[in-house]
Amino acid sequence: MIDLLAEPLSYEFMRTSLITTLIVAVTCSVLSSFVVLRGWALLGDAISHSVLPGIAIALALDFPYFIGALLAGVGSSVLIGLVESKARVRNDTAIGVVMTGAFSAGLVIISTIRPTVDIFHLLFGNPMSISIQDFYLAATVGAVTLLLVGSILKEIVAYTFDPVFSKVVGVRTGLIHYILMILLSLAIVSALSTVGIILVVTLLVTPGATAQLVAKNITGMLSASVAVGAASVVTGLYLSYYLSISSGGAIATVATLIFFAVMIWTNLRRLLG
């Protein structure tokens, strides 16, 4: 058993992959709690799809891809708000329009200027080919996220619980909102090389959704969410190593299975009193 667990770790790439993906999972899981509580699951999906044109333009103009991705991610959240108010459509419609529009723009740009880029890697990640730069990016984003969320936790809680009351009482709700949008975009960018644009949504939604089934308070929810995210990453990566299956896919599948297991367990417990 010990050997089974230790063997993959004898490879440098596996160690880098595991630690980087773990950091990404912790970052995403912390944000996941607020994504779930504020009802932002679809928005997380939209931001993650919208980073694609940012990456494409960055590749074309040859500047760091995470800057392009960050600008596109935050830009999309602004654009969604704008479409919602100017076109007078519902939030999910605005998200649908912006998300698919941005994603297809990304595909078009990539196919015209850099046909050699492996789109498959961007979409689904590849934890087995993580570079040390990816690790540094994930570690920086993780540290910034934990520090910011830790220092303004009560403002984030107040805003995500009741934005209108918070604004009147004097919380700078606009600032809090855009801090969260920036953190979400950063988390997505740091997850690009590990789980990719599509599957990062699992890490932004499922750990928080699972944690909410069991948590009694907000710190309990944050910890449970991180535990689910971390367990999914470790289990998923080992499964991927031994079964030669897609690592991003394995991580996302494990997270989903944990969610359903906890959901069934909490419902059974309630039924049996």
Which residues of this protein are in contact with another protein, per CB under 8 A?
Answer: 37, 39, 88, 150-155, 157-158, 160-162, 164-171, 212, 215-218, 220-221
Q: How far apart, in whole angstroms, are the C-alpha atoms of residue 21 and residue 199?
A: 13
Whichever of 5 and 214 has its CB closer to another protein, that residue is 214
Least distance (Å) between residue 175 CB and another protein: 13
Closest CB to another protein among residues 17, 33 = 33
**Which lies closer to another protein via its Cβ, residue 34 or residue 124?**
34
Q: What is the Cα 206 distance to its own chain's centre?
A: 10
Residue 271 Cα distances to 212, 214, 267, angstroms: 18, 15, 6
CB of 214 to another protein, least distance (A): 10
Nearer to another protein, 121 or 172 (CB): 172
Q: How far is the CB of 85 from another protein (least distance, A)?
A: 10
Label residues 83-106 b or e (16+ Cβ within 10 Å = b): bbeeeeeeeeebbbbbbebbbebb
Q: Compute the least distance from the CB of residue 39 to another protein, in Å.
A: 7
HSE at residue 40, side-chain half, CA atoms within 13 A, is 22
Other Cβ atoms closer than 10 A to 219: 11
